[in-house]
């Protein structure tokens, strides 16, 4: 009760500040017609949270993490687990879904670029990590995990290039790199020494993606 009361007091103290960043609330917040309505409005809420300063980290899911995910708002009638088993190259269904994801990414970048922060914009100090929770394919073993990085986080990361990581560096090493770049020193993320000896040929950050 004391924790809840303390949170209520803190929110009351900053409510005027937060209200200036609140998104436009329409009827689709309460009665969304499609799952894409949820995704669009959750993204707006997340961007408002970043702009207001109550968080500096945002995680957005575009729906495929759910076994019953759907994109009827895009005109895609197929849904659920079978989407992951379709051939994806040149598939008009997946082109629609990925174009939708790309529009979400563009909205994030354009919004953050309009928010002053320090000597530049919030986007200048941001790194967006776009990836799949299934790595490269359905029922993956995680051996190949494509990631797209947008922004450079104050010039810390390379941009405008394709990087193939040599050796055996797991996805954990990417998170280690993100943490160290953000100022949290760690040698590994969520990996014990014994596991690292088997699954990681390196240690610490992925130097190939750093500027």
End-to-end CA distance of the chain: 48
**Is 11 within a domain?**
no
Phi and psi, residue 129, nearest 5°: -110, 110
**Is 9 within a domain?**
no
Q: How many domains does the chain have?
A: 2
Model pTM score: 0.89
Q: What is the pLDDT of residues 24-63, one digit of tens each?
A: 999 999 999 998 999 999 999 999 999 999 999 999 987 6
DSSP type of residue 123: G
> Is 66 in the same domain as 107?
yes
> Is 37 in the same domain as 119?
yes
> Is 103 in the same domain as 139?
no
Contact 174, 147 (CB under 8 A): yes
Among candidate residues 123, 145, 180, the one where a domain is terminated: 123
- How far is it, in rounded angstroms, from Cα 12 to Cα 8? 6
Q: What is the pLDDT of residues 69-90, one digit of tens each?
A: 788 999 998 887 778 788 888 9
**Is 6 within a domain?**
no
Q: DSSP states of 165-207 as a string? A: PPS---HHHHHHHHHHHTT---S-SS--HHHHHHH-SS-S--G
Which residues, in sequence order, are CB contacts of 173 under 8 Å at separation 6+?
188, 189, 200, 202, 204, 205, 206
> Is 147 in the same domain as 208?
yes
State the pairing for strand pair 116-117/120-121. Answer: antiparallel
**Is 142 within a domain?**
yes
Residue 183's domain comprises 127-211
Among candidate residues 123, 144, 170, the one where a domain is terminated: 123
> Is 132 in the same domain as 159?
yes
Mean pLDDT of all residues belonging to the chain: 91
- Per-residue pLDDT band at 167 (split at 50, 70, 90): confident
**Is 89 within a domain?**
yes
> Is 145 in the same domain as 107?
no
Write the Ramachandran bin of 24: left for phi over 0, alpha for psi from -120 to 50, otherwise beta. beta
**Is 201 within a domain?**
yes
State the pairing for strand pair 147-150/128-131. Answer: antiparallel
> Is 53 in the same domain as 116?
yes
User: Between 134 and 33, whose confidence is greater?
Assistant: 33
Among candidate residues 123, 149, 176, the one where a domain is terminated: 123
- Per-residue pLDDT band at 67 (split at 50, 70, 90): low
């Amino acid at each position: 009760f004391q924790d809840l009361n303390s949170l209520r007091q803190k929110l009351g103290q900053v409510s005027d500040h937060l209200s200036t960043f609140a998104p436009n609330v329409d009827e689709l917040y309460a009665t969304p017609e499609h799952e894409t309505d949820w995704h669009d409005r959750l993204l707006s809420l997340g961007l408002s949270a970043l702009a207001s300063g109550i968080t500096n980290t945002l995680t957005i899911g575009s729906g495929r993490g759910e076994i019953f995910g759907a994109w009827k708002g895009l005109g895609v009638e197929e849904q659920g687990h079978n989407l992951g088993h379709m051939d994806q190259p040149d598939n008009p269904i997946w082109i629609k879904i990925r174009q939708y994801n790309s529009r979400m990414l563009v909205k994030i970048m354009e919004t953050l670029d309009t928010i002053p922060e320090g000597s530049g914009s919030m986007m200048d100090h941001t790194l967006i990590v776009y990836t799949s929770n299934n790595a490269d394919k359905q029922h993956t073993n995680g051996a190949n995990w494509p990631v797209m990085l947008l922004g450079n986080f104050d010039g810390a990361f390379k941009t405008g290039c394709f990087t193939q990581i040599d050796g055996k560096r797991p996805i954990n090493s990417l998170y280690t790199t993100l943490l160290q770049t953000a100022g949290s020193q760690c040698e590994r993320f969520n990996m014990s020494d014994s596991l690292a000896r088997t699954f990681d040929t390196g240690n610490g950050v992925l130097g190939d993606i750093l500027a």
